[in-house]
């Protein structure tokens, strides 16, 4: 930490804004100009790394020329009396999207898309100059309200992005960034990231604005990184009541392979605008749950009369052996059974196959069965859900009640007992 009230003879320290592995950020005021800046002082290790500093200087020259109303501009770069390097950027006194999400929850769809459009406009300008941000996330996106009530979106931390780029270029450093918002290529440690990495992060941010959650978050950093690299995003329109057109937009941004994503911020922006323009035709998949009863009064009436007791069951478990056992005992009883190893196909099964009963493992990768249950039960009263796990009965019962499940079954009992309990719950 810098032990002084004045930095480089011209910046008066007002307060410390934050500290991290690469240095300390201060709110400062320029003594002569009276202007406030956010000033980051790099730590001793980085300041004395000649290779790092030379590379950083070259990148800083590019960033000094980069100007956009939607970001804070780099204003100064130099060295303190103690020999520590610093850079000063415009100070933004707005509220971060992270704070707003924590306070208010998910955004309305149109507002979320308009915020993303402003972020993409900043990235378009940055990418045109070869600048990749590397850490797009709600905490780095500020909302400032003007006197006329209009909101201004600002993308912060382009200066810190330079530090990340230099650290990533050194194989001795670990992956740098925020795991929940990293692209697969960034999470896997690739050094040469391009603009499509930022666009993936924008997709994560949009997902979070719409749902209040990030799509990939493990119990550890390593688990989260692995999920970013290997796990496809699960369809989420049904669970959150999101129009399918919006879901399609987000899922394209979250493609694991860069070549399958939007290839530029402009392309992503045009897709967002197209979705906004078609707002009146948006199809809310939640309404599809009501088509089940209406269809039974028309074309499906004959089929229903022929098999009045037919039940269509979806079994969700990441253990293939468990799925095989469930499928065997249920089909033996005449039920129509579908199986899935992950959450990605829930959307398709629930509304294309008219599922009556979902049997879900609690410990599913990506999204816990309890969360799946709670979201579906809030919108689909006619869908019965059974939670299935090998955790202690007391805990399983509690989780079942908390997530509004219709019942629970312990994997520690015999398959015959599973079947008995399934029949009891279905008949209830």
DSSP string of 285-314? Answer: GGGGGGHHHHHTTTTTHHHHHH-TT--EEE
With a cut of 60, say whether residue 29 has pLDDT above it: yes
Average pLDDT over residues 395-422: 91
Q: Which residue is listed with tokens 């809310």?
A: 284
**String of DSSP letters for 72-126:** PPEEEEEE-TTS-EEEEEE---SEEHHHHHHHH-SPPHHHHHHHHHHHHHHHHHH
Q: Which residue is listed with tokens 């939670």?
A: 387
What is the pLDDT at residue 159?
A: 60
- Lowest-confidence pick of 179-183, 238-242, 405-409: 238-242
267/151: higher pLDDT? 267
Q: How confident is the model at residue 297 (pLDDT cuts 50, 70, 90)?
A: very low
Burial class (CB in 10 A: 0-12, 13-18, 19+), 1: exposed
Q: Is 76 a catalytic residue?
A: no
With a cut of 50, say whether residue 398 has pLDDT above it: yes
Q: Which of 121, 135, 157, 198 is catalytic?
A: 135
Average pLDDT over residues 6-21: 87
With a cut of 60, say whether residue 264 has pLDDT above it: yes
Q: What percent of the chain stands above pLDDT 70?
A: 84
Domains of the chain: 6-90 (3.30.200.20), 95-283 (1.10.510.10), 287-427 (3.40.50.2300)
Model confidence over 298-354: pLDDT tens digits? 333 333 333 335 789 999 998 888 888 899 889 888 899 999 888 776 767 776 778
Model confidence over 117-171: pLDDT tens digits? 999 999 999 999 888 888 899 998 999 877 776 788 999 877 655 555 555 555 4
| pTM recorded for the entire structure | 0.62
Of 162, 154, 209, 159, residue with least CA distance to 181: 209
Torsion of CA 207, 104, 363, 244, to 10 degrees: -40
With a cut of 90, say whether residue 197 has pLDDT above it: yes
What is the pLDDT at residue 130?
A: 86
Task: Please tell me the distance from the alpha carbon of residue 74 to that of residue 118, in angstroms, as a whole number.
Answer: 19
With a cut of 60, say whether residue 54 has pLDDT above it: yes
DSSP state of 332: H
Q: Which residue is listed with tokens 């088509």?
A: 291
């Amino acid at each position: 930490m810098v032990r002084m009230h004045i930095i480089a003879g011209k910046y008066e320290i007002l307060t410390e804004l934050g500290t991290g592995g690469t240095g300390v950020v201060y709110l400062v005021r320029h003594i002569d100009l009276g202007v406030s800046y956010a000033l980051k002082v790099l730590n001793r290790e980085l300041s004395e790394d000649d290779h790092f500093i030379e590379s950083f200087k070259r990148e800083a020259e590019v960033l000094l020329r980069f100007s956009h109303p939607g970001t804070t501009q780099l204003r100064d770069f130099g060295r303190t009396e103690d020999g520590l390097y610093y850079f000063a950027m415009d100070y933004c006194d707005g509220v971060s999207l992270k704070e707003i999400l924590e306070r208010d929850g998910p955004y309305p769809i149109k507002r979320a898309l308009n915020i993303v459009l402003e972020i993409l406009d900043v990235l378009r300008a940055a990418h045109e100059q070869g600048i990749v941000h590397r850490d797009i996330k709600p905490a780095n996106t500020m909302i400032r309200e003007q006197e006329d009530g209009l909101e201004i979106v600002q993308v912060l931390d382009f200066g810190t992005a330079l530090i990340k780029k230099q650290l990533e270029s050194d194989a001795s450093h670990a992956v740098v960034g925020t795991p929940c918002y990293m692209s697969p290529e960034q999470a896997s440690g690739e050094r040469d990231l391009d603009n499509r990495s930022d666009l993936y992060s924008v997709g994560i941010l949009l997902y979070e604005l719409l749902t209040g959650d990030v799509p990939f978050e493990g119990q550890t950093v390593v688990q989260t990184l692995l999920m970013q690299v290997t796990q496809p995003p699960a369809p989420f329109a049904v669970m959150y009541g999101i129009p399918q057109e919006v879901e399609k937009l987000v899922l394209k941004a979250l493609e694991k392979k860069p070549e399958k994503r939007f290839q530029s911020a402009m392309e992503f922006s045009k897709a967002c605008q197209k979705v906004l323009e078609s707002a009146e035709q948006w199809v809310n998949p939640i309404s599809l749950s009501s088509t089940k009863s209406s269809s039974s009064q028309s074309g499906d009436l004959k089929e229903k009369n022929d098999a009045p007791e037919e039940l269509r069951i979806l079994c969700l478990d990441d253990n293939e052996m468990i799925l095989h056992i469930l499928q065997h005992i249920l089909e033996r009883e005449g039920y129509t059974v579908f199986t899935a190893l992950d959450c990605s196909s829930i959307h398709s099964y629930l509304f294309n196959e008219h599922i009556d009963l979902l049997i879900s493992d609690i410990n599913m990768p990506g999204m816990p069965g309890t969360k799946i249950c709670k979201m579906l039960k809030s919108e689909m009263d006619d869908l019965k859900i059974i939670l299935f796990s090998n955790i202690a009965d007391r805990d399983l019962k509690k989780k079942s009640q908390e997530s509004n499940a219709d019942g629970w079954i312990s994997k520690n009992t015999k398959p015959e007992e599973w079947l008995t309990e399934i029949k009891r719950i279905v008949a209830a």
